[in-house]
A and B are shown apart, each in its own frame.
Chain A
């Protein structure tokens, strides 16, 4: 059962554009929502994360918007650059058994065209 739905599967934008990746979750017990960035041939790396008591978080050009009532959250990349081309995974996690148990979305392959 997929608990975190991510869309779109792929996305192409021009340099300077603002790609938006959307995620939705079902389990209201999730208490932490990280985004991971994965470059080809590399493992996923934590990019930015948010807790459900906050509606927005910015780190540099990356912004997470969070809608707790709708159980949705999204990643916006401002002034996107070719170097942002990567696969992005949203995730939702819950603290259980002494660690953050993470459920990943299916990923969005982003291509930023110069």
Chain B
């Protein structure tokens, strides 16, 4: 298995633009997680899905953030409109028992 796949690996955008991050979890994993990592706040869980259904989105910082999982092999995290304070590394992880992380997307909002 190729592990958790995320795209793009780097994204630079201007404030106000829409940003879409993508994730392909490990096949057979029932859970998918979106995390945000910053120096100030460390790793924060934003939202997680079970069998494609969002279970807990209490970590999503604002209504500007939304996440979907249309099928078992694909999820997106969207930020609209983006702001400079959204600059961070966003990780997707999937799990059966243990969580396996993707390589992350480094987002820079100018």
Contacts and interface: CB of A to CB of B under 8 A. Distances in A.
The 9 closest A-B CB pairs, nearest first, are A43-B101, A104-B43, A106-B42, A99-B31, A44-B101, A43-B91, A43-B104, A43-B102, A43-B103
Interface string A84-114: 0000010000000111101011110000000
A42 B50 contact: no
B4 interface: yes
B60 to A, nearest CB: 16
A99 B95 contact: yes
A1 to B, nearest CB: 13
A60 interface: no
Contacts of A105: 42
B80 interface: no
A36 B45 CA distance: 15
29 contacts: A36-B101, A41-B103, A41-B104, A42-B103, A42-B104, A43-B91, A43-B93, A43-B101, A44-B91, A44-B101, A45-B101, A46-B98, A46-B99, A46-B100, A89-B43, A97-B55, A97-B56, A98-B31, A98-B50, A99-B30, A99-B31, A99-B48, A99-B95, A100-B97, A102-B45, A102-B99, A104-B42, A105-B42, A107-B43
A47 B94 CA distance: 16
Chain A, interface residues (CB within 8 Å), range: 10 to 19
A104 B37 CA distance: 11
Contacts of A106: 42
Interface string B1-40: 0001000000000000000000000000011000000000
